[in-house]
Amino acid sequence: MKVNIYYGGRGLIDDPTLYVLGVMQQVLEELNVRVEVFNLHELRNGITALPRTLKSADGIVLATTVEWHGIGGYMQSFLDACWLYGDKEKMSSLYMCPVVMSTTYGEREGKLDLAVSWEILGGRPCSGICGYVKEMSQFEANKEYRYIIEKKTENFYRSIQQKMTIFPTSNQEVNNIIAVPKNIDLTPQETEQLSKYASDESYVQKQKEDIQELASYFKEMLGNENSVGSNEYIEAFKSHFKPQTGSRGAYKFTIEGKKKALIIQINNGELQIDYGKEENTDVEIQISSGVMNEIISGRMTFQRAFMAGNMKMKGDFKLLRLLDQVFNFGEEN
């Protein structure tokens, strides 16, 4: 069995919480429990990474000292980190013993705060220890106080060893219904760094300008690409057009990668070709840019592409044969 102790005080010599933890550690070690202590004031720069240490524990002790009001910033930061980055499934099986000693007022409220926090995290709080200490020397010399600490520690050990059942609480039910944190795919270090950048207005403004510049650049590239491709197809059809008297037909080519359709109109030997929208066409053709390039290079005909299933067509099939007659891509000009 292993128990982790997370101490959220400031590490002062006369801190009564340190005395309580010392007695608890001694009792647990006598019961063959491995104890690991984490002093949050020494690990304050890495608190966000501490929730991962919960994975190796069977139970934990959350201990802090009320010096003026509340459980203190170090312990609150650790609980925040557990909420954001902790393994909720692991915490649901962890027994937690709250220890709150006070040199002023509020030890009961602090103990309740830790218990409620752990319930909301899905864990299992135990009864714990709390008390007010006016004179440290008298507190340490009192054997009855030490006896209470020892018995509380033994009860905590039994709760873990016997996997004691904990009554359900409304805090856990509310947590299951509404208090579901958003998944964060970043590491704690990346989240902190991102928060720093997000609070820097000049950095955010610079990023927006960079994004706009990139968007304009790629939009221009896309426009140029479509423009070049469009001109190539149009010039290829014009240069290989062989007028035939009496030939008529309107074609709409939907080419993969082109936003607009290629419209070809043949009227008694005259050719009109451009990209645009035309609803009244005799033939609608769907074709990939690769197959279109094959046809324009003379390695394929429109009819062969259709027969091979490389091109889809809807409309008058006689006009399909006309395409190969008036556009002879197999001949060089």
Report domain extents, the chain: 2-182, 230-326
pLDDT at 196 over 80: no
- For residue 228, pLDDT over 50 is answered with no
Q: How many residues does the chain have?
A: 333
Compare 208 and 101 and report the one with higher pLDDT. 101
3 state DSSP class of 57: coil
What backbone torsions phi and psi does residue 223 show, to the nearest 5 degrees? Answer: -65, -40
* Distance separating the N- and C-terminal Cα atoms of the chain: 89
Asked whether the beta carbons of 234 and 265 are under 8 A apart, the reply is: no
pLDDT at 333: 46
What percent of the chain clears pLDDT 70, i.e. is strictly above it?
84
For domain 2-182, the CATH architecture is 3-Layer(aba) Sandwich (3.40)
Q: What is the pLDDT of residue 29?
A: 96
Q: What is the pLDDT of residues 149-181, one digit of tens each?
A: 999 999 999 999 999 988 877 766 666 665 555
Residue 267 vs residue 205, higher pLDDT: 267
Q: Where are the alpha helices (DSSP H) in 13-58?
A: 16-30
Tell me: the pLDDT tens digits for 57-93? 999 999 999 999 999 999 999 999 999 999 989 999 9
3-state DSSP call for residue 186? coil
Give the C-alpha separation, 120 to 168, whole Å: 12
- Domain 230-326 falls under CATH 3.30.1050.10: yes
